[in-house]
Each structure stands twice: as structure tokens, then as C-alpha cells.
Copies of this chain bind each other. A is one copy, B any other.
């Protein structure tokens, strides 16, 4: 039974994944309806405003849903939002058992879906495939429980930790497979964060050029000193941009409609990054993908906002005159240096992709937050 439960939940998680490029700001959810050991209905949540995973799966199952077991990767909702509550739909369909991977991460409604189901006499098993389900919705969970998006920081570098030559050239340190991987991350992110300096130096457009990209992420550019002008190529692309500036005193330029401006007073010439992240959560951004230089990367790390590092490491050597990866304070002892832990290593073409997590954001702590 436990093994079968895990197997069906695995299928539900696969279905959930299908919404990765389209479902934000909603969570990824998959659902499988099983009757007499056979899958009779499958569904996933594809787009905000469209029916939830359970609804599609129940529709497909039809009358067979009666006395069946439903596997859902997230606790069914109990409130009337843009769609009717899924807990009620499951009850109405007559399912006799619901297996779910995790509770609703929103502490205000967590457990209410389960309570509805149990009140209707349905047997509920929770926590099957929980780690994978939490992984899938890191961003949504982060927004719900920490009021800020999940931040992935991307760095493309050489084996000797350099991001560009002394003359600024960085095209191309990594190969096409690594660059395509970056576009997949961009297409799945709610927002891409960068600095005016990166936009100017790399002529970065920061759009998601990927076959599965359905929509473009919000491009958030930190421009405290207002160095970017509306004429820059970055703004020629009409996907939404959020300029973050220090004050409006000098902001007399006229910006096109797709560019909005957020004013956040700086402290010590630094924009308040944690405040920015709270604002992004309010804007329903689940995941932020960051492409920036050594300075902003160091500042994000110092603010303990980096949840995940994604390094693309080319088997090239650029030498000591080239640009450094990260600006950090001058430590006096190795023990003071920030420590990460490797999460996964993958070869992408000639390059290595190294995913790492800061020691201060352990998966355990995340789960702890969710369950509390």
C-alpha cells in the first residue's frame, strides 16, 4: 500500500511539473484518481484562473471517481477563489480516500482542506512524497511562509572563478547547453533580477528565449543612480520591467507603459534588498532568478537572501587579471568565509552545472517553517 501510494504520488508530481512554465503565481499541483488499482483520471493545474488539478482529474474519471482514491500533491483548497473549492469537488464525486503530499503552505488556511474532507468521512493520508512536493513549490512556499520569493542566483564562470576578461568580454564562457538551461530557468521564474551595471555591460536583455516559454518574467533592474535611460535596448522589448530607484527627484524621464518604477530609499548607498523582496512577494512573485555581477551577488549574499546558487562552470581558465565572481569583505580567517553545500552536479555539454545551497538555508529549516 505504501509503495503503491508513493508510486501514484510520483505520477501526480510528474503531472504537477507540467505547469512549471505557466502556473505562477499559483502552485504546481498534480492529481491522479485511482480505482481498483488503475488510474482513471489525471490532471494538473496549468494556468491561473483555470480549473485546478483535481477538477481535471475528476472530470476524466467521471462516475469511476466514486469510491476511488485521489492522489494530490498539495492539500485541496477549501475556499472559493477564482474556482470552487476542490475539497468540495472531491466530496461531491464520492472519493473514499485522499492521499496528499503536503499541507497548504499558507499558515492561514493550512489544514482546512483536510478538515473538510475528514468531516465528510473521507480517509486522508498526508505526507506521501512531501520532500519532492516541497521542492516543486519552493517559490510558492517561500512567498507564503517567508513573505519573500525563493531566490536563485546564477553565475557563469570559468574554472578559476572568473566571469569576464579584464576588458569586460564574457561571450561565451559557457556553451550553448548551459545557456539554454539558463533560458529554461528564466522562463519558469516570476521575475529576473539584475543591476543597471549588468544591463549596460553585458547588453543583457534578460528575456526567456526557450521553446516552452509561455510568458516573459518581470525584469527587475536595480538602478539606484538612474543610469539607464528609456532609449536603452533593454526597454525596447515590451515585456514588463520594474525599475528600482532611490528617489524620484532626478527621475524626469518619460518611461514607456511596460516600465514601472519602485522607489525604495537607500541606506548607505544600498537599496534595501529585503524590502524589495517583500514587495516582490506582494506582487505575487514566487521565484526570482538573478543574473548579476560580483557586487549585487555579494550584497544579496550578505543580506542572506540567496536560497540557491546555480553555477555554470566552463572548463576554461581566464587568469588573475579577469573579473572576480563575488565581492565580499576581506576575511581574516577561513572560518569566517561563507559556506555552501553542494546539492547537485551535472555536466551540460562541456560545462559543469553546480547547484549549491547556503548553509544557513537548510532544507530541514525550510520544512520546519512549513510545518509550524
Contacts and interface: CB of A to CB of B under 8 A. Distances in A.
Give the interface size class of chain A. Answer: 35 or more
Contact of A326 (B301, B317, B340, B341): B317
A253 to B, nearest CB: 33
A356 interface: yes
A328 B318 contact: yes
Interface string A132-173: 000000000000000000000000011111100111011111
Interface string A301-341: 10000000001000111111110111111111110011111
A298 interface: yes
A6 interface: no
Contacts of A341: 315, 350
A36 to B, nearest CB: 44
A345 interface: yes
A342 B352 contact: yes
Contacts of A321: 328, 330
Contacts of A333: 165, 169
Nearest to A315: B340
A320 B166 CA distance: 14
Contacts of A162: 161
Given A159-B340, A356-B159, A320 B331 contact: no
A239 to B, nearest CB: 28
A124 interface: no
Given A317-B328, A319-B328, 6 more contacts: A160-B324, A165-B334, A172-B334, A301-B317, A318-B337, A322-B331
- Pick the 9 closest A-B CB pairs, nearest first: A161-B161, A319-B328, A320-B324, A315-B340, A160-B325, A160-B161, A321-B330, A317-B338, A316-B337
